[in-house]
Amino acid sequence: MAPSGSRSIKRGCQRVLYWIPVLFIALIVAWSYYAYVLQLCIESIEDTGEKVVYLLVYHVIFIMFVWAYWQTIFTKPMNPLKEFHLSHSDKELLEREDRGESQQEILRRIAKDLPIYTRTNSGAIRFCDRCQLLKPDRCHHCSVCDKCILKMDHHCPWVNNCVGFANYKFFMLFLLYSLLYCLFITATDLQYFIKFWTNGLPDTQAKFHILFLFFSASMFSVSLASLFIYHCWLVCKNRSTLEAVRSPVFRHGTDKNGFSLGFSKNFRQVFGDEVKYWPIPVFSSLGDGCSFPTCLVNLDPEQPSSPTGSNPANKSAAEGRQFPSKPLRESQSRLLTSTPSWSENETATDKDRKGASNPGMTIENEA
C-alpha cells in the first residue's frame, strides 16, 4: 500500500507542477491586459477616437487569442479506436510467443484488417506495449500523458497538453492570435514608448507599464513568429514535429513526403473545407485521425484493397462501418480527388467502357 500511495502523491505533485507554465502565461496575459487597457489606453491616450479604435481591435484579438488558447489546453487528445486494441485472446496469444518473429506474424495478421501503412525502422508493425495496441499511422505514445495520441505533434508544456489531431488546428490559431496580439501591442505602444525616452509622458506609474509592455510584447513577437512560421511550413508539407525529426517509414522505406498531398489539400486536412471555420477555434479538420491518405504509388501489399464499385448497396453498407473496405473516410477521400465529386451514372458508364475494352480485367478502387 505504501509504494502505491507514494506513487499517487508523486503523480499528484507532477500534475500540479505541469500547470505552472500555463499559470505563468495566464499571469503575463492578465498583466498585459491591465497595462494596455487601463494604463495605456485609459490613462495615457488622450485622443478619444484613437482610444476607442485601439480598445475595439485589442479586444477582438484578445478574445480570439484566449479562445484558441483555452481550446488548445482543454481539448482532450484523441486516442486510437478500440479496433486497434488487442483483444483478450490476442493478448494471451502474443504473451505465449517468445520469439519476436512469431509475435510479428500475429501483429501482421491483426493489422491486415486495419488501415495501417507505416512501420518501424526495422520494418516491423508499430505496437505499443504500454497501451497494448497497434499504432495507427502518425500515432505516437506520449510519455507525459502515458497514452497513445493520434497524429501526435508534440507535448507542449505551455498548454499542459498533447498537441495532436484533436487540437492541432487550435494550436495553430493560438500561435497566430498570440502573435497578432503581441504585434498589435508593440505597434500601438511604440509611439508612447518613444515618448517615455523623450520625457513626453507624465511622471506616473503608467510610464513603467508602457516600457515593460513594449519590451515583453516585442520579445514574445520574435519567438512566436519563428514558431508560427515553422508550424506553417509543417502544415504545408503535411508533417508533424515528430515526422520532421524522424521521417515516417513505409514498407518501401523512409519517405518524408509520404503524407503530403500538395499545399491546398495539406492545408484543408488541418483546417477543413469550409473557409468560414478557418479562423475560428472550432474543430473542422478532415478525417478521423486513425487513417490518412498518402501520395504513395505502391501501396502496402499486406493491406488488401477491396472493390467498392458504384453499387449503392455496397456504398451504404460501407458508410455504416467504422472502417469500410476503403480505409479512408469520405472527408479523407476528397483529399485525393482533383475534382469535387462525380455522379454514380458517370462512374458506372466509365466502368462499362473499360469493361468493354478489357473484358478479362477486374477493376478495383484503391485507397
Q: Which residues are catalytic?
A: 156
313 contact partners, CB below 8 Å, separation of at least 6? none
128 contact partners, CB below 8 Å, separation of at least 6? 134, 135, 141, 148
Alpha-carbon gap, residue 75 to 15, rounded angstroms: 17
Please report where in the chains the cell 480485367 appears, as a residue: 361
344 contact partners, CB below 8 Å, separation of at least 6? 310, 312
